[in-house]
Amino acid sequence: MPAAAVCKLHNIALLLFLLLLFGGVALQQQIKNSLLPADQSNYNDVTTSVTSTQPNNKSSAEDEKAGECLLPLQNLSQGAFVQCRKSSPSQECLTASEFWERHCYLNMTESVRFYHLGKGGGGTILFSLVENGIVVRRDHPRPSTHGIEELLSGPVSTLLINIRDPLDRFVSAFNWRSLLFCQRDGEHRKKYPSEVDDKDRGRYQPHLRPQEFCYEKSSFQKEATIIQRLYNDDINKLAESLCEESSNFEHAVEHTKFISHAKLSMEGWLRPLLLDTNTTSIKPQGLTKFMAITFEQQSGHNSSLLEHTHEAVQQLYFDHGVDEETLDILMSRKTLRPPRVSEMMTHSSNSTAKRKVLGAVGKCCLARFLEDDYRLIQSMLGDANASNVLDPFEYVHPIIREACEWGFPIRRQLCRADLQSMLHRRAEFLDRSLGTCRDAVTLVDES
C-alpha cells in the first residue's frame, strides 16, 4: 500500500478515536482541523497517564457555587468559545457538572497553535489538553506553510512547543521507525497491510500495536531501505556517519531527510522566528506568547512532562478569560474517564526490543550535527545563562527568549533548568576546541 494511503488510514483512525471520546457533529470539523496534517507515527515514547481530577468532597457552600452557571465561559477572549457534544442554546450558561457531562471543551483553534515535534512528548501534551477540556490547532509532523503568516500577523497569539533534548529525540525517532518495519528474517508479527483485513486496517496499524504488526517495506520503501539495509537498524552507524570528518557525511545528511520525525530539527520548525527579516515582523495582532513545554531527565530530578502540561492548561484557561475561582470549580467537578488514551499512548515506551545504545563517539557526532538545535536552546535561555561552549543565534525574535517565561515562578525555574540540563549533558561534545569527536571522547575519558 502506498505511504500516502497508510497515512490517510492513520489520520482516520486517530480522528475516530477522538470522536468516540467526545462525539458530536460540531466537534468533528474542529478536531479534524486541530489534528491535520498528521503522519503515520505521531505518538510519543513517553509512558503517560491522563491528567484528571477526581471530584472532591465539597462543603454545602461550595456545592452551591458549583451548581451555579459559569458566566466566564460565556465571555471568553481571543476568539475562544465553548462547544459541547450535546448542543445547548448559545444563551444557556453551563454549570461545572454540565460542562463535563455534555463533553464540552474550549475551542482555542483560532488563537493557539501547537508545534508538535515528533518523539518529544507531544502526544502526552495533546491528549492532556483534550482531556482537560481544551482543543487547539496542532501542526504535525511539520509546520503548515500557511501557518507562518498566522503567527506573524494573527489571529494566532500563543505558540506551544514541546522540547526534548535534540539528541534524545533523534535517537528515539530512528529506533521507533526501525521497530515499525518488518524484519527481513525471523519476523513473527503480522505484515501490514497484506496480512490485515481491510475492515481492521484502521485499528491494527503498526504504530498502535508494534508488538503485533509491522509495516511492509513497500509502505515506506526509501525510509525502510535506509534504516534496514544501509544502517542495519543501528543508530550508531548513522550517528558516526554524521561526523563531519566521516567520508559518508554528505550521504548520511541526505539519508536523515527520509527518517520520520528525525528529518525536521527544532531549528527547522522555528526557522521563521530566527531569520533576520522576521525578527521584528510580528504584528501587534500576531504572536504574543511563546510557551515551551520541556521534557528532560535531570540529574537528581525528573522533570514531569505532565506537571508542565497541567500548568499549561491553567495558563490557557487564564489567557482566554477564565479566572482562577471558575477554573477551580470547573476542575472540581471533572470526573475520571476510561483509560483509553493512556493505553494507546504507552505503545512506544513499552516497545524497546530493537533499541541500541548510542556510543560516546556517536553521541558526539550527532550532537554536533544537531548543533543549531542546541544554539536555539541557548537562545531561549538568553544572555543571563550564556554558555562557554555555544553562542546563541545572532538573529532571533525576542519572543524566543520568553520560552520559559510563563506560569508560576517554580515552573519557570524548572523550565530553565531543563534547558540548561540539555546543554550541560552535551557540552563536552559541542566543544569543538577538543578536536574531532574521537579526540574529544579520548580526552574526556582520560580526564
74 contacts 106 by C-beta, under 8 angstroms: no
Q: Give 180 or 88, the one with higher predicted confidence.
A: 180
User: What b-and-e string marks burial along 91-118, b requiring 16 or more CB atoms within 10 Å of the CB?
Assistant: eeebbbbbbbebbbbbbbbbbbbbbbbb
Residue type, 176: W
**pLDDT band per the 50, 70, 90 thresholds, residue 30:** very low
The model's pLDDT over 116-169, given as tens digits with 9 standing for 90+, comes to 999 999 999 999 999 999 999 999 999 988 778 888 888 999 999 999 999 999
pLDDT at 82: 93
DSSP-derived secondary structure for 157-218: -EEEEEEE-HHHHHHHHHHHHHHHBPPSSS--SEEETTTS-GGGTTT--TTT-TTTEEE-GG
Angle at 165 between CA 162 and CA 168, to 5 degrees: 115
Q: Give 31 or 438, the one with higher predicted confidence.
A: 438
Phi-psi region of 23 (alpha: psi -120 to 50; beta: other; left: phi over 0): left
pLDDT at 429: 95
**Nearest CA-CA partner of 312 in 332, 333, 289, 341:** 289
Angle at 133 between CA 130 and CA 134, to 5 degrees: 65
Pairing label, strands 112-115, 158-164: parallel
83, β-bridge pairs: 105
Rounded mean pLDDT of the chain?
82
387 contacts 446 by C-beta, under 8 angstroms: no
CA 222/CA 439 separation, integer angstroms: 34
Q: Give 83 or 57, the one with higher predicted confidence.
A: 83
The model's pLDDT over 202-247, given as tens digits with 9 standing for 90+, comes to 889 998 899 999 999 888 999 999 999 999 999 999 999 999 999 9
15 contacts 7 by C-beta, under 8 angstroms: no
